[in-house]
A = this chain, B = another copy of it.
Amino acid sequence: MQDALARLNAYWTEQGCLTVQPMNTEVGAGTLNPATFLRVLGPEPWRVAYVEPSVRPDDARYGENPNRIQCHTQFQVVIKPEPENAQELYLGSLAALGIDVTAHDVRFVEDNWASPALGAWGLGWEVWLDGLEITQFTYFQQAGGISLDPPSVEITYGIERIMMALQGVRHFKEIAYADGVSYGEVFGQAEYEMSRYYLDDADVATNRTLLDRYASEAQRLIDIGLPVPAYSYVLKCSHTFNVLDARGAVSTAERAAEFARMRRLAADVAKLWISERESLQHPLGVTPAAVAARVAEPAGTGAASGPRQVVFEIGVEEMPPAEARAAREQLARELTERLGATRLDHGSVRLHATPRRLVAIVENVAAVEADHTRTVKGPKVSAGFRPDGQPTPAAVGFARSQGVAVEELTQADVNGVPHLVVRRHEPGRTAQEVLRTVLAGAVGSLRSAKNMRWRDPELAFTRPIRWLLALWGDEVVPVTAGILAADRLTRVHRTADRPVLPVASAEEYLDTVRKAGIVVDPDERLATITAAAERLAADVGGRVDLAAEARLVDQVVYLVEQPTPLLGRFDDSYLRLPEAVLTTVMRKHQRYLPVRDAQGALLPSFVAVGNGDIDVDLVRAGNEAVLRARYEDALFFYRADRDTPLAELRARLTGLTFTDKLGSMADRAERIAALARELAAGLSLSAEDQRTLERAAELVKFDLGSQMVTEMTSLAGVMAREYATHAGEPQPVAQALFDAELPRAAGDQLPATLPGALLSLADRLDLVVGLAATVGLPTGSSDPFAVRRAVLGLLAVHRSQPALAGVSLTDALARAARHQPVPVDEKVLAGIAEFLTRRLEQLLSEENQPVDRIRAVLLHADRPQFADRLLGQIDRLLTDESFRALAEALQRSRRIVPAGTPAGYDPAHLHEPAEIRLHETFKQVSADLAARPDLDEFTQTTVRITAPVNTFFDEVFVMAEEPDVRAARLGLLASVAELGDRVIDWSQLRIAHS
């Protein structure tokens, strides 16, 4: 290992990097060393390489986990400005380490980086070696909240990872550190002891004091104007925070506050550093600005020949799959529109894309545009000449502005009015002239969801654009964009013998790249992958559920330029792990396709898709090793968890802070349990459901105390069900514990059982009320605690469980409020109710319910299931003439009654037959109406009032002069209108007449 470090160091020194020493205070990553954080700021060039022992307290595992180390070794390279060939340099470094990059599958897989504590972010990749993440590769965009100009590239090697792969060992302790000495022999004890410190023994009070003192010292030094020592205290803050965090002593709110403080300090340090360097007049010099390419002259004339194909290739460093897909569409749109705006004849526009290139092919592009006469409109003829035929100043001015003599002006009708005009004959431009503008414009307009800057002064995109190839037939189109000028050179696999190839003509482009192994058409790659996946799976008697894996396959299509699917296996024994664990690892972490048998059960195989002409056996072995390591990890957790009694796992929640004001996760679990029981009390649960709820409530959230869920939080609930089952809990209890975590996201499955649904509701009620009372409801896009998602979950669960129809979420929130350790005042509850109403409104709108109907039922937002029922009934009833008449009668009654008129009247003042009839009917209807009728019930009972209402309006003058009479009539109408008030908001409902 020390040899590897020396080799990397030698390699990067050759590339002009300085060597510096690790930071002499604990840092979590090489990025935090001032040789990175400070040096990427400002205009000075900088190239550096160094080793950085990186301390991550929460990765401490007492040295027991084969892959987790509290202090791992990073090798860090920073190049500023980014050198335009950092990826190639990086591949060179792997070769220097003795890795055959032509045989292995080295991949750049999207992985953006952000350090909220440092106000820093960048875009880039994790680099995979046969599926193993060995390096983080980032183009820094901001640090300390300051945009970086020029941008730097950072390459961070995970040395232990690389060593384990190169040496083929399965535990970091087995790495040969030097001749005859293993990593474990040298560092094993420190690993154990520091783990003990970070996980168990660090004194929380002491570390809190240290954190405060460090922060105050940092602030003081900033105030004095000393960024260097200030920064070292910021680093001490960061480490101490991490220690507290690993000790489970940091609440969510505290975390946010500490991050904000560190971010503020880091930003101040960055500003100071920049100004200090300025006042030192930049001792290391100033990076010269990158110079935009000049517009080259068209290389050929093109005028003489017939129409030719155009190919335009935009070479990009590996784009994220979603971005590549979107860029392909954007480019198609841009080119079609921009070409459409010219007069250049052309055929179809086809777009292809791979991770590294966007390719546009336009058929039959004419050599020149058609000629064209352009008419420039001037003043009206009537305003252009005096009656004596002399031109007015308007005509003279127009002629002058157009550079012609007045005599040259002609006339044309514009909207039927004769105007003075100038007619200009414009000869068609050559294809090259047209294309260079169109293509340059298209490149310049490319934007992704998240854009970055690189050395280019003008362009911005998801990843750096590195080359342009533009051919019209066999002529280069002299497109320029930023610092790039197009030529006829394409780039194929970086590890090819000839990584850069000339393309003779547009027509030969596809052939040229195909011969070099590049499949530019995503559909073709998709076809290759699916066919191969099916074939490979069949080899082991299995299949790949391509429909279920469609999203994953779509991603993989954009991860490779030349798909090389391969079948890997893993040991049967891992099948003991829950399926969700196995597939989560395969899909989310490794992008492997799971292979299943005919019944859908997992087989111990997977399909991975390599890129290019790799050594399949070598790459398979690598991928298998990675999966094995991950499964080994999982198995380690799984075993440890299953060996732990549920009560003990549950007890661990005491050590997990929920938020500083809302107590531990154990407190929260107890609140959830209590609340679920209360909600159940209002329903009539079966005895079994009651028992299930009781037990599930005791255990709820216990799996947050398990190692597996600590590692893969997305498995919360899944592991609860698994571990509960293993521990011999009744199946309904296990299921309820799983249900309690549902839904985990929009569109996720919902609780299958009533006990589960009650726990799920209670969970979300507790979260929403607690956070609303302490932190406030989410505003804008900021929702760090996912309160919005919890509210949506409340709605979804309520709507999905018929048994919950009677539960009012507003009541339930008030109940939840009583369990909080903090006071929750009425205004907060009202705010939540309003928030919930707005979410339901939006949801129903997204479900394409008409706005009027949504508004009509929103008064039942606290019982969304009931709102659903009403919407269904509305939908049906609106086709019913009698309902429509009833609705109109009610609306009419409401309309005529002035706002604030109380319902109720003295029947003694009613004399007219129509009003007496209405009074009588109202009395009967009122008596017959159920307490909380739905719309069907209401309509059924109330429909007979339609006719009396209508007759009343026809025959009775409401606004009688006698006040008593008038009051009685208005009161009667108000009473009628009020009949439906609690059902829906009739005033919102639009009654269309067919």
Are A184 and B283 in contact (CB-based, < 8 A)? yes
Q: Which residues of B contact A21 (CB under 8 A)?
A: 22, 51, 53, 73
Contacting pair A16 B179 (CB below 8 A) = yes
User: How far is A87 from B61 in the complex, measured between Cα atoms in Å?
Assistant: 42
A185, B283: Cβ atoms under 8 Å? Answer: yes
Q: A2-B18, A178-B18, A189-B277 are in contact. Are A203 and B220 (CB under 8 A)?
A: yes
Q: Interface 1/0s, chain A 1-25, versus B by CB < 8 A? A: 0110110011001001011111111
B-binding residues in A (CB < 8 A) = 2-3, 5-6, 9-10, 13, 16, 18-27, 34, 51, 53, 55, 71, 73, 177-179, 181, 184-186, 188-190, 193-194, 196-197, 201-203, 206, 209-210, 213, 216-217, 220-221, 224, 226-229, 276-277, 280, 283-284
The answer to whether B220 touches A284, judged by C-beta atoms less than 8 angstroms apart, is no
Does A221 contact B194, Cβ atoms closer than 8 Å?
Answer: no
List, sorted by A's number, 18 A–B pairs whose CB atoms are closer than 8 Å. A2-B18, A6-B13, A6-B19, A18-B186, A20-B186, A23-B24, A24-B53, A24-B71, A25-B26, A34-B190, A185-B283, A185-B284, A189-B277, A193-B226, A197-B228, A201-B226, A209-B213, A210-B213
By a CB distance below 8 angstroms, the chain B residues around A224 are 196, 201
Expressed in whole angstroms, the minimum distance between the Cβ of A237 and any Cβ of chain B is 13
**B196 & A206 in contact (Cβ 8 Å cutoff):** no
Closest Cβ neighbor of A49 among chain B residues: B2
Pick from B190, B221, B276: contact of A197, CB under 8 Å: B221
Asked whether A228 and B190 contact (CB < 8 A) given A9-B6, A18-B2, the answer is: yes
Contacts of A202 in B (CB 8 A): 217
Contact B206 A213, beta carbon cutoff 8 Å: yes
- Give CA–CA (A201, B227) in the complex, Å: 12
What residues on B are CB-neighbors of A184 within 8 Å?
283
Interface of A: prevailing SS:
helix
**Partner pick for A227 among B55, B71, B193, CB 8 A cutoff:** B193
Q: Across the interface, name the chain B residue whose C-beta is closest to A34.
A: B190
Whole-angstrom distance between the Cβ of A226 and the nearest chain B Cβ: 5
A147 shortest CB reach to chain B, Å: 22
Q: A277 to chain B: which residues have CB within 8 Å?
A: 189
Known: A188-B280, A193-B229. 16 other contacts (CB 8 A): A2-B19, A16-B179, A24-B24, A24-B26, A24-B71, A25-B25, A184-B283, A185-B283, A185-B284, A193-B227, A196-B226, A197-B221, A206-B213, A206-B216, A206-B217, A209-B213
In the bound complex, how far is the Cα of B216 from the Cα of A55, in angstroms? 22
CB neighbours (8 Å) of A13 from chain B are: 2-3, 6, 178
Chain B nearest CB from A986 CB (Å) reads 69
CB neighbours (8 Å) of A217 from chain B are 202-203, 206
CA of A430 to CA of B300, assembled, Å: 108
If A6-B9, A16-B179, A206-B213 touch, does A189 touch B26 (CB 8 Å cutoff)?
A: no
- A213 vs B10: C-alpha distance when bound (angstroms): 41
Partner of A276 from the list B6, B189, B216 (CB cut-off 8 Å) is B189
Residues of B within 8 A of A177 (CB): 18
Chain B residue at minimal CB-CB distance from A35? B186
Q: Which B residues lie within 8 Å of A178 (CB)? A: 13, 18-19
Bound: A224/B2 CA distance, A: 33
Quick check: B22 and A5 within 8 Å, CB to CB? no
Residues of B within 8 A of A34 (CB): 190
Instruction: Give chain B residues whose Cβ lies under 8 Å from the Cβ of A228.
Output: 189-190, 193-194, 197
Chain B hits for A197, CB < 8 A: 221, 226, 228-229
Chain B CB count within 10 A is highest, among A34, A179, A197, A210, for A197
